[in-house]
Amino acid sequence: MVRQSKQVLAMADNWRSKIVTEGDERSPSRAMLYPLGFTEADFQAGKAIVGIANGYSTITPCNMGINQLALRAEAATRQAGAMPQMFGTITVSDGISMGTEGMKYSLVSREVIADSIETACNAQSMDGVLAIGGCDKNMPGAMLAIARMNIPAIFVYGGTIKPGHHEQRGDLTVVSVFEAVGERSAGRIAPEELQSIERQACPGAGSCGGMFTANTMSSAIEAMGMSLPYSSTMAAEDTEKAESTEKSAFVLVEAIRRRLLPRQILTRQAFENAISVIMAVGGSTNAVLHLLAIANAAGVELSIDDFETIRARVPVLCDLKPSGKYVATDLHRVGGIPQVMKMLLVHDRLHGDALTITGQTVAEVLADVPDEPPTGQDVIRPWNHPLYPQGHLAILRGNLATEGAVAKITGVKKPQITGPARLFESEESCLRAILDGKIQAGDIIVIRYEGPKGGPGMREMLAPTSAIIGKGLGDSVGLITDGRFSGGTYGMVVGHVAPEAAVGGAIALVEEGDTITIDAHSRKLHLHVDDEELARRRSAWQPPKPRYTKGVLAKYAHLVSSSSLGAVTDLNLG
């Protein structure tokens, strides 16, 4: 029987879990906990119950090393004086499902991950949670749950993959393979070279190695203060990743004891810090979607236009793939995200008084980090010699995107392109046209009905954009879509067009051969069709029949909001 004084209860760590562990009426609950390793002494001590949300799977190399980290976190949690309860959560591989119907489940998996973590933690009245994830949607999915529940939490990134290597091409990532497919289709490389790239691109465990979506979101979470310094760029297979995981467990247990809650950390300042870091490292367009969603869950006002405001004052400091030279392990070697953050802080582009999960402010965490990056390297550029003077993620508007669209605009040789619309109702039909040589310089590809509702699921378009690069058309062909782009995408491409085609957005009214302008400098996306003609087309437009009427995709399509609001599924449930 568990009996404790009121004074001990007031100081106990089991501030939530005591509802299932204390009192005679909870005897059946305790009976079920004994086989899991709990002892009478654990109950009497009022130990916290800590969830270990384990994203391990052998679906993808991004997550294949996570179980060992989860076991390390489990042992450290016990050592710190708390009781761990490990549970699984899903992942899907964006890289494997890319270009298939399965990719429609990618963004959906963000919600499933969030819902599963929230369900397990709240059903079992856990006192805190340590979430470990690898592939792209693991990070935002875990952060959605953490923001919703507002219980002490920390995120542990499973780590980045080390680069593959090719004798002629140097470092490889999975994007190298997608681009090589386009090169092979254009006859620019032999089958043997494609096969060599394929075999060498992914040498082991870890998430895709460039500043693609996984590394972008791990960097954002570190910048927001919800994971430990340096952890977002560590290699999955390196010893320091396991050591950082262990330390994360100790930090979380201390946060439980101090009742340090996520919404004390996930403030407006934290989101602005994350956006600044994403601009500085050249991160993925998906960060816009995910940060809007996390802010909504945390009750923080954040809009798509905030990205444009911060873009204008933050330079791109890091020369990272997909469009640059280096990968995340290179960034880690020269100081990682703390080095980037310190440069932003010194130049008044970061909120130093924002709180972190360690209990320290951002400024305190960065106190010993040099003001400028190491000399003799060019992964991180000096402040007075940035890669680009302003950020790379721009919000474009116009009669084709009245709610906004997202584009990477740095490094594009032709920042303004006007050309005829080449219209496709799906990603597959577009990819086939590119590979068959039916897309010419000057064309503007339009892929529609791939948005959150229309897809459903807002598929990423890495296959067609990589094929464009591989065909040698990256500087002469534009592409717009109401779908998304992989973090590995670059070129004159515009995604997240909102309103999407499925709800009657102007992208649904485009006809083959219409003239379209993409203007990165003025941040315009314009369809050269007069208002009278657009009104005529709109009156004739009919909403498409739902592609799915049962199952998770049908539920998602019914619930999901606009991409301009983060494509969240719980926006209008009240």
Question: What is residue 7's predicted lDDT score, i.e. its pLDDT?
Answer: 40
Exposure class string for 262-291: b at 16+ Cβ within 10 A, else e: bbebbbebbbbbbbbbbbbbbbbbbbbbbb
Rounded distance, CA 339 to CA 355, Å?
18
- If residue 424 lies in a helix (H) or strand (E), which one and from where to where? strand 416-424
Provide φ and ψ at 367, rounded to 5°.
-55, -40
Structure tokens at 553: 């995709």
**pLDDT given for residue 99 in this prediction:** 84
pLDDT value at position 218?
98
Question: Which element (helix H / strand E) includes 497?
Answer: strand 493-498
The token duo for 157 is: 């990134």
> Among residues 133, 140, 139, 150, which one has the least CA distance to residue 70?
133
Q: End-to-end distance of the chain based on CA atoms, in angstroms?
A: 42
Radius of gyration of the chain (CA): 24
Q: Which two tokens stand for residue 186?
A: 């254009």
pTM, two decimals, is: 0.95
CATH no. of 394-565: 3.50.30.80
Task: For Cα atoms 531, 534, 536, give the angle at the middle one, nearest 5 degrees.
Answer: 110
Of 192, 202, 207, 190, give the one whose Cα is nearest residue 133.
207
- Residue 175, both tokens: 């994007």
Strand 515-519 relative to strand 493-498, pairing: unpaired
Angle CA 71–73–78, to nearest 5:
100
The CA–CA distances, whole Å, from 76 to 81, 83, 97, 251, 360 equal: 9, 10, 35, 10, 21
Structure tokens at 452: 């959150």
What single-letter amino acid sits at 229?
Answer: P
Burial of residue 350 (number of CB atoms within 10 Å: 0-12, 13-18, 19+): buried
* pLDDT, tens digit only, all 574 positions of the chain: 344 434 434 457 999 999 999 999 999 999 999 999 999 999 999 999 999 999 999 999 999 999 999 999 999 999 999 999 999 999 999 999 988 999 999 999 999 999 999 999 999 999 999 999 999 999 999 999 999 999 999 999 999 999 999 988 889 999 899 889 888 988 999 999 999 999 999 999 999 999 999 999 999 999 999 999 999 999 999 999 999 999 999 999 999 999 999 999 999 999 999 999 999 999 999 999 999 999 999 999 999 999 999 999 999 999 999 889 999 999 999 999 999 999 999 999 999 999 999 999 999 999 999 999 999 999 999 999 999 999 999 999 999 999 999 998 877 778 899 999 999 998 999 999 999 999 999 999 999 999 999 999 999 988 888 888 888 898 899 999 999 988 777 778 999 999 999 999 999 999 999 999 999 989 999 999 999 999 999 999 999 999 999 999 999 999 999 999 999 999 877 6
| Catalytic residue positions, numbered | 486
Q: Could you give the residue ranges of the DSSP H alpha helices within 164-212?
A: 174-185, 191-200
Helix, coil or strand: residue 128 = strand
Backbone torsions φ then ψ of 39, nearest 5 degrees: -125, 165
Structure letter (DSSP) for residue 347? T
Token pair, residue 255, equals 């946060």
Q: Where are the domains of the chain?
A: 48-162+204-365, 163-203, 394-565
At which residue do the structure tokens 């106190």 appear? 367
Quickly count: other Cβ atoms within 10 Å of residue 123's Cβ.
9
CA separation for the pair 298, 234 (Å, rounded):
27
